[in-house]
Structure 1
């Protein structure tokens, strides 16, 4: 739940809020709040907790949401033009038909987010996680998707004209009727990082779509498609690496140096003298490592000519390293998917507990209300019976006062003194007893 004090501060206005955060950079907690249609232009909500918040139709132009938690947030129809969402988490967030032109979403996690019909022109998605994202009919013209993960994403009828997809992963991505005219897949002159675009497992990709793209032979394609004739042949011929493809001496060390200079992935592999001892870094996921192996295998076929017998020994060693690494990777569970599954299950369990808790509180309130009503009726009924008996002509023998004392003791045992006609019953009985 939201922090009531933070809600109060936000309602004081954007200027006051931003000034307060400059003085004290607290982490705002506005989770589950209702901000439907609110205007928060240029507000500083960096690192804010906004999970499950209602921001439908909100104006968040030029807002700083970097590092914010927006999991499950409703941002449908929201205006996030030029907003900073760098590194934000948006798992399952609803951004349908939202405005995100020129927005920065680099390294953001949008797993299973809904971006249907969203306006994403010229937005920055560099290295963002867009796995299983719904993007059908979205406008991504001119968007930068370099190094992003689009595995199993839905890109049906998306407008990708002029977008950059260098190094993007599109395993299981649905590209049916996607407009990919002038999409840039090529490495260009930036060959310092051999991060080829992987289209090998993209769904519904046609040769006609491929022919409308701009790319080079470094792109990994499905088996049923071929490189368009107008694509440039991938060569590493800029000044710093112009000698990589030239025949080198028979020195094993020279060969290793030349190949490692052209690809960081290969360089990592070459640092291990014994492939069997090669182990995964703790700082990369299994999925990332598998992708690196695939790219490295592809890089070998381009960097090292197949017909050069002088490099056979190096090729065999590298392939052996790759085989060992693939075997090791296959033995690892998909830790990222398991974590996501666990978090999703915890979220569902939390929702169930919250619902059950609310029902329990409601039942307790009804029970408490019913008990108070019963005690009042019991007290009134007992008193009425006693007083009625006297009025009806009961003999006023010496034992009568003890009856009223008994009734008084009964009423005194209640946690809340019963009231009749606006006055405590115990006072009324005491007065009646005295008069009798």
Structure 2
């Protein structure tokens, strides 16, 4: 039997790589088998200390891209042949029985999950769309493998996807309002035109996610990993981004009204045409951040723009909540220059906004502290005359 253990030891170096590719622990990997096996059993398999039972051979074969018959033949092959197996791009495919159960509805599905707590639903690569099967509201999808999942105009509202694997999934035109994605793997997920209002993403991995034209109002991202994430035309009003890692993130035309970014990292992030009225950046890492057209007006994307998020935060407070200013200064040791420049901006320019109906070009953006810029406003009077205002910021 020693030779068989040696063969399985070599074979299980491959599933170990598959387990790593799919971000599964030994315990979770054991649960994809039916019947499931324990973490310690998987560990002994991978060490070559124990042979798998024959009942698990079909699943092992599928993980190695082999038919059952080919797997049996491979057991008798030289180890060098086994080492030639290529599983670099192998991801777990969906279980037809699990998909069939999913389509029976939330009540049947949740009852099945409750009776089978050790089974990890294998639903990777499934494609759900409007008119086919498009409602996952209230489903318990905790720990489910939904890697590569595609959903078009589907509803996943108030569902639980705690620690689910949705790496490289695609969601378009749907609704995930109030769902819980805590500690889930959403690396490289693509989201477009989808609503996530009041959803929960605490400690979720959103590395290199791409989110377009979507609504994330009042969402909690606390302590999430969002390095290199892309937000384009996204509403993050009231979102909790406290202690979130947003290093090298890209924000374009993003509404950050009253968002909490305290103690977050925006190192090397890029913000272009973003509204930060009421947002907080206390103890936020702004190292090497690049900002263009940051708006502080409650009207959103109009009015004066600033280039510095710390200045934007304090100018907004000075302009709209002056009674809180001194308390804010004392509590967070705000630098004197910020107080000075914020007061000037608030007093002279904070109320100006784009006058579309009057034909005004409004004020050109404010560029840098210590830079003497000219702001021009041209307003039409009667039919032929123009009144020109030329002002300077003088420090």
TM-score, with structure 2 as normaliser: 0.52
Equivalent residues of 1:73, 1:93 under 8 A apart: yes
Say if 2:111 is the partner of 1:15.
no
Alignment partner of 2:159 out of 56, 60, 63: 63
- SS class of match (2:100): helix
Closer, same or farther in 2 for the Cα pair 1:203/1:17, shift >3 Å? same
Q: Which stretches in structure 2 are left out of the alignment for 5+ residues?
A: 1-92, 301-307, 319-324, 334-395
CA distance in 2, matches of 1:224, 1:160: 16
Equivalent residues of 1:200, 1:223 under 8 A apart: no
Alignment partner of 2:285 out of 178, 198, 220: 198
Partner of residue 245, structure 2:
149
Say if 2:109 is the partner of 1:24.
no
Equivalent residues of 1:153, 1:173 under 8 A apart: yes
Structure with max Cα Rg: 1
Equivalent residues of 2:281, 2:310 under 8 A apart: no
Equivalent residues of 2:273, 2:293 under 8 A apart: no
Say if 2:174 is the partner of 1:78.
yes
Superposed displacement of residue 201, structure 1: 2.0
Equivalent residues of 1:33, 1:53 under 8 A apart: yes
Equivalent residues of 1:182, 1:212 under 8 A apart: no
Partner of residue 380, structure 1:
none
Aligned residues: 222
Partner of residue 365, structure 2:
none
CA distance in 1, matches of 2:150, 2:239: 27
Superposed displacement of residue 177, structure 1: 1.1
Equivalent residues of 1:201, 1:222 under 8 A apart: no
Q: Which stretches in structure 1 are left out of the alignment for 5+ residues?
A: 187-195, 214-220, 238-436
Residue by residue over 1:44-83, the C-alpha shift from the partner in whole angstroms, topping out at 9 and shown as x without a partner, is 1011000011122211011111110000111121210000
Closer, same or farther in 2 for the Cα pair 1:144/1:226, shift >3 Å? closer
Partner of residue 377, structure 2:
none
* Greater relative CO, 1 or 2 (CA 8 Å, sep 6+): 2
CA distance in 1, matches of 2:218, 2:312: 29
- SS class of match (1:140): coil
Matches within 5 A, 1:32-181: 32-37=125-130, 38-181=134-277
Closer, same or farther in 2 for the Cα pair 1:76/1:206, shift >3 Å? closer
Residue by residue over 1:377-406, the C-alpha shift from the partner in whole angstroms, topping out at 9 and shown as x without a partner, is xxxxxxxxxxxxxxxxxxxxxxxxxxxxxx
- SS class of match (2:243): coil
More helix by share: 1
Partner of residue 2, structure 1:
94
